[in-house]
Structures are given as C-alpha cells and as structure tokens.
Amino acid sequence: MRIARIAHPDGMAFAALEGDGDGAEAAEIAEHPFGEPRLTGRRWPLADVRLLAPILPPKIIGIGKNYADHAKEMGGDAPPDPVIFLKPSTAVIGPGVPIKLPPDSSRVDYEGELAVVIGMPCRDVPAARAKDVLLGYTIGNDVTARDQQKSDGQWARAKGHDTFCPLGPWIDTAVTPDDLALRTELDGEVKQDARTSLLLHGIPRLVEWVSHVMTLLPGDVILTGTPAGVGPMSPGQSVSVSIEGLGTLTNPVTTR
C-alpha cells in the first residue's frame, strides 16, 4: 500500500494511493494509517489533491556516516557502531515545499536518504524482529548547514533549521528496501548515485540500535544515512531525491 497525507477539497487526511497515471486516486483512510488502516469510502482523483509530508513524526533519528564513501568524503572512517542524532519534528516539509536557506549559514547541503517509518510503539527490538515494527519506507532529505555542523561540534543547529527535513512523496508499506537505487539530482544534474545495499548498518541493525536507546513511537522516522556526493544548494535551484520503487521527492530552494 502507498500511504500519503493529502490536502483534499474538504480538508486533510491520510489516504491510500491507488492506480497509476490518469486513473490514479487517493482513497481516504479513517483516522491514522497504523495497524489495519480502514478506508472511509471517500476518494478523489490524485490530480485534485495535494501531497503533504506523508507523516508528521514524533521524532526523527538521523544516522551519521552510514555509507563508506560518504564517511570518506567527510574526512573520516566509518564508525564501528551507528552514530545517531536527532532532527526536530518542526523541520519536516512535504514534496514541493521550499527548503529555506537560513541567512546565518553560507553552505547548506542536500543529503538524499532512505527513510524508515515506525509503525508501533516499541523498544529493545531485536534485529530479527525489526521488520515487524515498521509501517514502511519513504524518501528523506537530511538537509544540513555544513558550516554550522563543523563549527558547532554537534549537529542540532546544523540539522535542525525549519524546512531541513523534506519527506515524501508517500510511504510504501510493501517495498523491499535491501538493494534500491538512490539518486539525488540538483537542477537535473546527478549528484548522488548509490544503492541501499551499500548501507554499512542495515535497517534491522538500526532499529535494534536506536530502540535500545529510546522508545520508538508510531510515525517516528529513521533517516538511514546518505551516500557520497553531498554538496551545496543555492536559491533558485531544485533538488530531487529518487529511490527505486518509492518515487521522487522534489523541493525548490529559496532564501528564508
């Protein structure tokens, strides 16, 4: 199932996206998409709704240096265990919404990433059971003020500005995430081109590691890390992250 959050003619809702092309529709989900989602029967042509960020996460856990070639371009070795950090929920924006470059940074980078969405409250999840606690997968852009990341020595400011966590365009509950092509384009020029099979710590290990530290809640997002090729964005540009089977997340870039 493809789960989206939509703005429809009468308000907002979660919806199941059905069909492709001109016949594509959004079928309203009652209440929330966790557990056994129930459809209300209301539906709209996809062209008549706007896709919002597919989830408003209680928290967003980022994973640092989880591709060897990105660890190398950042000037270090990949750590033996996952390195985690938090992004605030207020950083989330949906497809098509502008990433706003803050005036106090001179370098803001895109980071295309596979995003995992948690489906139930859980803690101390063994890697072998990680799949059972997931709602599905979407695309994330872990936007980072690179100069602030370096100068601050920790990452809350660099990763925490409003608009620094584009998510979308929807959550796929059925895709197998183990070996998907991931590509980031800036104004149509390919900047990152990798496969999720290159993740140093795979999704089961990440869920185990993070849930050993903190309770995970329905809707929490784990950003699994970015491959090599990160680089800066300028006002007026457009950044697109595509993952095989998950679609494309595109956001324009503006100043605040």
Toward Mg ion, which CB reaches closer, 3 or 239? 239
The interface region with Mg ion, picked from 86-94, 96-104, 139-147, 162-170 by CB under 5 A, is 139-147
Toward Mg ion, which CB reaches closer, 2 or 87? 87
**Interface with Mg ion includes 111 (CB under 5 A)?**
yes
Shortest Å distance, C-beta 225 to Mg ion: 6
Shortest Å distance, C-beta 214 to Mg ion: 18
Shortest Å distance, C-beta 20 to Mg ion: 31
Shortest Å distance, C-beta 15 to Mg ion: 28
Toward Mg ion, which CB reaches closer, 149 or 226? 226
Q: Which of 142, 185, 208, 220 binds Mg ion (CB under 5 A)?
A: 142
Q: Which of 226, 240, 242, 250 binds Mg ion (CB under 5 A)?
A: 226
**What is the token pair recorded at 197?**
């099979």
Q: How far apart are CA 149 and CA 20, in angstroms?
A: 41
The interface region with Mg ion, picked from 21-29, 102-110, 198-206, 219-227 by CB under 5 A, is 219-227
Residues 63-102 that bind Mg ion (CB under 5 A): none
DSSP output for the chain: -EEEEEEETTEEEEEEEES-GGG-EEEEESS-SSSS--EEEEEEEGGGSEEE-S---S-EEEEES-SHHHHHHTTSPPPSS-EEEEE-GGGEE-TTPPEEEPTT-S-EEE-EEEEEEE-S-BSS--GGGGGGGEEEEEEEE--EEHHHHHHHSSSHHHHHSTT-EEEEEEEESS--GGG-EEEEEETTEEEEEEEGGG-SS-HHHHHHHHHHHS-B-TT-EEE----S--EE--TT-EEEEEETTTEEEEEEEEE-
Shortest Å distance, C-beta 85 to Mg ion: 9
The interface region with Mg ion, picked from 47-55, 79-87, 111-119, 241-249 by CB under 5 A, is 111-119
The interface region with Mg ion, picked from 4-12, 19-27, 134-142, 149-157 by CB under 5 A, is 134-142
Residues of this chain that interact with Mg ion (CB under 5 A) are: 111, 142, 226
